[in-house]
Amino acid sequence: MTSLFRPLARGVISRHLNCMHVNTLILGAGAAGLHCAAFSGPNTLVVDHAKAPAEKIRISGGGRCNFTNLGTTPTNFISQNPHFAKSALARYTQWDFIDLVDRHGIAWHEKTLGQLFCDTSAKDIIAMLLAEIAPTADLWLQTEVGTIRHDGTHFHVALKRLGQVTLVQADNLVVATGGKSIPKMGATGLAYEIAEQFGLAVTDTRPALVPFTFSDDRFKPIAGTATPARLITADGATFDESLLFTHRGLSGPAVLQASSYWQMGEDVRVALAPDFDITAALKTQRAQDGRKALTTALAVHLPARLVDFLGGELDLTGNVGDLADARIADLAASLQNWSLKPSGTEGYRTAEVTVGGVNTNELSSKTMQSKATPHLYFIGEAVDVTGWLGGYNFQWAWSSGYAAGMAIATGAP
């Protein structure tokens, strides 16, 4: 945590110091923090160090925000405790958020695989959240969070805005400052630091939904080529979506999904043209048109640029008619059980999310409240719950934000 306000916490009170009391102080005006503020009741203050609220919503989904997924279930989330997310997801579902979006007249569409996007702009979601919080909450932007103290009853948080320090006394403190992904957009590890300050364990964190990199530029010749693929990680997580070759390695939805399950040093297996039985297809072509070049036969199922590239690695010379059964089996294995070892990922610089976070053993799954420190809540990406690509991460932000907000408003233990 920044040492900026440490002197204040030690009691060297500035003559410019303001003091105020709020019922609920929410750190972070992102998806989870704003949604929580919509339910946490009167006298809520939301603060953020950014110039604008919910910057990640603004840029999400190519500017149209993939705000939820029709098929959301707890199985779409990664956590050391796979049961933790169940309660919050059940009590505020994708249908509840769709209902909210509909009430605000925001037009949306399903793109693919249950992923819902705004028809017009992600800014509609931000405007909706700001309208929802307006009656009960204040929003302070460009506000730095300083020291945090708990006296057994209240939290005392030093905030600095426009050069002015305010010491806020809060009955409830909600930490919604997200994970470490995209520091350029204001991501910090503040949530983990606060967790540690209050003695809550934090699981190992790593960038996720992130492209793979390789130590060489082997895919440079086919950078920009995309193809359907099945990605299988060492622990068996399997994703059938598009794969994109890049200058630095591999990207595309299938790769981003796999990256969330990948650990440094592991291989990933790639099945190209996963919906085709390559062995059967080549045998059929051998019987029907044996004089066809093998590269031409493969280009029926794979992009021609990719086939050219693979020709160098797999010796794709000759005609299909020349292929013995064993050679066909070898080729099918090479194409559909292609083992690759990424040297790393593009890291937090481009990762959409952070896997890991505040250990769920420390929190009530019903309220997101710290078991050790009553009235301290952690929500959203800061918690060790990470969604797949496809609107699941925002759904977790909405659901966990609602859980904490409702617990505060109703005084639930």
Instruction: List contacts with ligand FAD (CB under 6 A).
Output: 28-33, 48-50, 55-56, 59-61, 65-66, 145, 176-178, 181-182, 186-188, 190, 352-353, 380-382, 391-394, 397
Smallest distance, ligand FAD to C-beta of residue 345, A: 14
Smallest distance, ligand FAD to C-beta of residue 129, A: 10
Smallest distance, ligand FAD to C-beta of residue 48, A: 4
Smallest distance, ligand FAD to C-beta of residue 142, A: 9
The answer to whether 27 touches 45, Cβ cutoff 8 Å, is no
Neighbours of 208 (CB within 10 A): 28
Angle at 340 between CA 334 and CA 345, to 5 degrees: 150
Smallest distance, ligand FAD to C-beta of residue 400, A: 8
Question: Which CB atom, from 273 or from 382, has the smaller least distance to ligand FAD?
Answer: 382
Q: What is the enclosing helix (H) or strand (E) of 166? A: strand 164-175
- Tell me which residue has its CB nearest to ligand FAD: 30
Give every CB contact of residue 170 below 8 A, 6+ residues apart in sequence.
Answer: 21, 22, 23, 24, 25, 45, 154, 155, 156, 157
Give every CB contact of residue 294 below 8 A, 6+ residues apart in sequence.
Answer: 316, 317, 318, 319, 320, 322, 323
Question: Which CB atom, from 197 or from 334, has the smaller least distance to ligand FAD?
Answer: 197
Question: Which CB atom, from 111 or from 292, has the smaller least distance to ligand FAD?
Answer: 111
Question: Which CB atom, from 126 or from 297, has the smaller least distance to ligand FAD?
Answer: 126
Smallest distance, ligand FAD to C-beta of residue 208, A: 10
DSSP one-letter string for 75-103: GGEE-SSTTTHHHHHHHS-HHHHHHHHHH
Half-sphere exposure of 89 (CA within 13 A, CB side): 23
Question: Which CB atom, from 176 or from 222, has the smaller least distance to ligand FAD?
Answer: 176
Q: What is the enclosing helix (H) or strand (E) of 331? A: helix 325-336
Neighbours of 109 (CB within 10 A): 10
Nearest-10 Cα torsion for 136, 138, 139, 145 = -120
Question: Which CB atom, from 219 or from 394, has the smaller least distance to ligand FAD?
Answer: 394
Question: Which CB atom, from 323 or from 355, has the smaller least distance to ligand FAD?
Answer: 355
Smallest distance, ligand FAD to C-beta of residue 116, A: 10
* Cα–Cα distance, 374 to 143 (Å, whole number): 25
Smallest distance, ligand FAD to C-beta of residue 159, A: 9
